[in-house]
Amino acid sequence: MDKNELIRSINKKGLRNSLISIYYDIGRVLPFRAQRYPDGRISNYYKSQYVEVHEVKPGGKGGKYGDAYGFYYRNGERADARENDPEQSWCLKSDTTPRGIPCAACGSWVLLDILNDPTAEPAKLIGINDVLEMGKYKGRTLAEVVHTDWPWVQWAAQNIAYYFAFFDMDALVKERSKDLESYHIEDQHPDDTLTFGKYKGKTIRYVAENDMDYLKWATLNISGFAVDFKEL
């Protein structure tokens, strides 16, 4: 898998990426660049900034959490993290050593670029026809489990497939859709509105046209929500 394909595959995981999980997924490469809330969900201001990660110190149970250190960029250049209040900035334009990055272990990060060669094997992308090598369904294909125990797949995507592997989310959604006869959220239709999440109040049709990856993420992670992507 080349670098660009790896970046796309990691970002398909949607809102679950942290700087720590990205570090594992890319084979512990440093430095790398990442951005939080690239869709402007919190504020469009976030679209202009990113961090360059130079050090990661995993911590917590199983190393799923921890800290990351690096530098802050705005509009592609080093900058003070608080443009109008440098004294309160977690990182200054003049800093020469990596600084602690806020919310490093939180979700909603996307990988922008990998700036070096990996020091370990990148995480394996598990395809829909691949045989699982871990967990209660070891020895069965991912496709089989999608049709027989979907809740386990949802759980595994967030737990088992963390350090060494992650699922092909597009393939998961496509396989899952074979079990679905129509999109449904309490018998709603494409022009009805979502009642949850960052697109609350927007129609399913609007989200499909503007952020199809969010619908895929919601299908994989939100109980009771499903979309027939072929029909949509």
Mean pLDDT, each 10-residue run in order, the chain (232 residues): 84 82 90 83 75 92 84 95 87 96 91 86 82 86 90 76 69 77 50 80 85 77 68 64
Contact 112, 35 (CB under 8 A): yes
Query: Does one domain contain both 204 and 105?
Result: no
> Which of 70, 88, 114 represents a domain boundary (last residue)?
114
Report the predicted TM-score, pTM, of the whole model to 2 decimal places.
Answer: 0.69
DSSP 3-state helix, strand, coil percentages of the chain (rounded to 5)? Answer: 30, 20, 50
Query: Does one domain contain both 100 and 19?
Result: yes
Give CA separation, 10 vs 6, 109, 126, 226, in Å: 6, 10, 12, 22
pLDDT of residue 187: 43
Contact 146, 161 (CB under 8 A): no
Query: Does one domain contain both 102 and 15?
Result: yes
Contact 71, 89 (CB under 8 A): no
Contact 113, 33 (CB under 8 A): yes
What's the CA gap between 98 and 55, in Å, rounded?
7
pLDDT of residue 104: 94
Query: Does one domain contain both 101 and 137?
Result: no
What's the CA gap between 15 and 207, in Å, rounded?
16
What's the CA gap between 74 and 77, in Å, rounded?
5
Query: Does one domain contain both 143 and 230?
Result: no
pLDDT of residue 34: 96
What's the CA gap between 26 and 209, in Å, rounded?
30
> Which of 114, 137, 168 represents a domain boundary (last residue)?
114
Tell which residue, 129, 222, 143, 144, has the closest CA to residue 184.
222
Query: Does one domain contain both 133 and 223?
Result: no
Note the helical H segments in 178-211.
Answer: 204-210
Query: Does one domain contain both 129 and 49?
Result: no
pLDDT of residue 165: 73
Residues 6+ positions from 118 with CB-CB distance below 8 Å: 26, 27, 28, 29
Q: Which residue matches tokens 């919310």? A: 103
Contact 128, 146 (CB under 8 A): yes
pLDDT of residue 185: 41
Query: Does one domain contain both 69 and 95?
Result: yes
Query: Does one domain contain both 58 and 105?
Result: yes
Q: Which domain holds residue 145?
A: 123-179
> Which amino acid is present at 101?
I
What's the CA gap between 51 and 147, in Å, rounded?
39
**Overall number of domains in the chain:** 3
Query: Does one domain contain both 102 and 66?
Result: yes
> Which of 159, 179, 199 represents a domain boundary (last residue)?
179
Query: Does one domain contain both 98 and 52?
Result: yes
